[in-house]
Structure formats: structure tokens, C-alpha cells
Amino acid sequence: GATLNARDVGGFIQPHFPMSETELKDLFKNMPNYKFRDDDVMLLTFPKTGTNWLYEILKMILNRSSEYTEDVKMETMMESRLVADIDTVKSPRIMNTHNPYQYLPIKGLQEKQIKTVLCLRNPKDYTVSHYNHMRSIKLYEYDGKWCDWLPICMDGKLEYGKYTDYLKGFENAIKQGVGFPLHVMYFEDLKSNGLEELDKLLKFLEIDLDTALRKDIIHKCGFDQMVNKNWDATNFMFHEETEFNTKGFMRKGSVGNWKTWFTVAQNEAFDKQWNSEMEGYNMFKFRYA
């Protein structure tokens, strides 16, 4: 099943990262107070909504260079690594997590006023992308059918839970004031308007880059270029016959791929459940094509 090789952390389902129960308990207990460095940038994403993409862009921005680095987001993924290990990563660091708002290092972010980027993606493309992720990575041993995956995903019976809960958590928090600098952006806008989205990011980060470098960052972080990055560094075991193949986290990288997966009936059921769960929440507006 989809929750195979996942772990329940007090009702919150996580991938089975390599650490003991005690280490995991300590990690979550100490998470709120994590001691950031002044020059850390924090990247928040739900799974499959642009983590690796934004990680690369942010890394290039902080390095003031359009060279790919050997770095991978796993090294600073806060729910997957022991604090002692994360603390050995050299600056500038792109700290990142898929955790929902209640499991963020909130006090740490507030204390150092860490610049934090939240990247969101439309839920239908997310659902398709997560399905392929589960089927592609050997660790999960998941070979469920698409029609069986949909309810699992919509009901949040998988790692990181429901996307609607994630979004509602953020909307509530933003309305109350998060107390640290937060920039919200969308996968779909980055796809269609890269340079504009990069400029918004740069303004938020208070970093100036010349036009040639800005253009080259967007070029190098385009889907076709990023496929050529050395993805072996992520150490994932991919099934050879899947769409991911050896391209790591790069599958299609498009907006609207969900249309080739959802039947009309599945789409209607999805909309119905989504709209009912998101009733009263309208902060985040998604583009589906």
C-alpha cells in the first residue's frame, strides 16, 4: 500500500527516513526551536510541488552563480536529518521541509527573521506527480493503480497527509501573522513567467543580480536543462521502467499533465471533495492549465 515504508509521528505520516524512533521523537520535539544561521533561507513545499526546482534556483541566487552545485535538498531537509548533521552543512544553506505549518521551526524562523519561501502547485498536478513518485522509487514498493491512488491521496492516507490540511494550516497562520518574512509563489507562474518570478524572489531576498545572470539562472533551471544535473547525488533507487527513470525528480515538469490521468468522473469527484474541504478558505488560487 501507499503508506508502506512510512512512519506515524503522533498521527502525522512521514516517509521512513533513516533514524531511530528516539531520534525522530527528539527531532520533532526540538524542531520548533531550531537555531538557524543568519544567512539561512527556508524553503517550504508540500511534496512534489517544486522543491528541487526552487532549491536549485535559490542556491544559484545565494551563490550569485548559474553553475549547478553538487548540493541536494536532502542534506538540509529538516525532518529527514539529525540536527548534528544539518549543522555541518556549509553556508549558504537552503533549509527545507515538507512539514505542515504546525511542525515548522516557527520560533527559530521568528528569532532570526529567516527569509522563507512557500511554493505551491495546483492539487491535480500534485496528485499525479506524487503517484508517479511513489511508483518510481523502489523504497516505497508501491505499485498501486491510479484509480486506487486517488482516494488515498485525497483522504491524506499517505506521507505528509492531505494537501487541503497543509493549505488551511498556512492560510490560518498567514491571517494571524506568521512573524517571519514569507514569500508565497506558484509552480505554474514559475513555469510560464520565470524571469518575473525570479525578480520577485530577488526583491524578497534583497539581492541584486545582473540581467545576464538572471536570464542564465532561468535557463539553467528550465526543465530540459535541469534533467542534465547529476541526479545520482540524490541516492534514490528508481525503478527503471517508470517515467522518472534515471532523471531523478524530473518527470514531466509541466502544468496540466493531470488531464491525461483524471477521467471526467474522477475530476468531478475531486472537485467536489476539494471544494467542500476548502470551504471558507480562498487565499490560495491555483491555475490548472
State the residues that interact with ligand A3P by CB under 6 A: 45, 47-53, 125, 129, 132, 191, 221-223, 226, 249-253, 257
Nearest to 3 by CA among 20, 15, 11: 15
CB of 192 to ligand A3P, least distance (A): 11
Cβ closer to ligand A3P: 49 or 164? 49
CB of 125 to ligand A3P, least distance (A): 6
What is the number of the residue whose Cβ is closest to ligand A3P? 253
Cβ closer to ligand A3P: 68 or 281? 68
Cβ closer to ligand A3P: 235 or 276? 235
Q: Could you give the CA distance from residue 195 to residue 217 in angstroms, rounded to a whole number? A: 9
Cβ closer to ligand A3P: 224 or 279? 224
CB of 144 to ligand A3P, least distance (A): 16
Cβ closer to ligand A3P: 163 or 249? 249
Task: Report how far apart the first and last C-alpha atoms of the chain are (Å, whole number).
Answer: 30
Q: Report in angstroms the alpha-carbon separations of 148 from 2, 57, 205.
A: 10, 35, 42
CB of 238 to ligand A3P, least distance (A): 13
Question: Does residue 126 contact residue 55 with C-beta atoms inside 8 Å?
Answer: no
CB of 251 to ligand A3P, least distance (A): 3
CB of 55 to ligand A3P, least distance (A): 8
Residue whose C-alpha cell reads 488551511 in the numeric block: 168
Cβ closer to ligand A3P: 140 or 249? 249
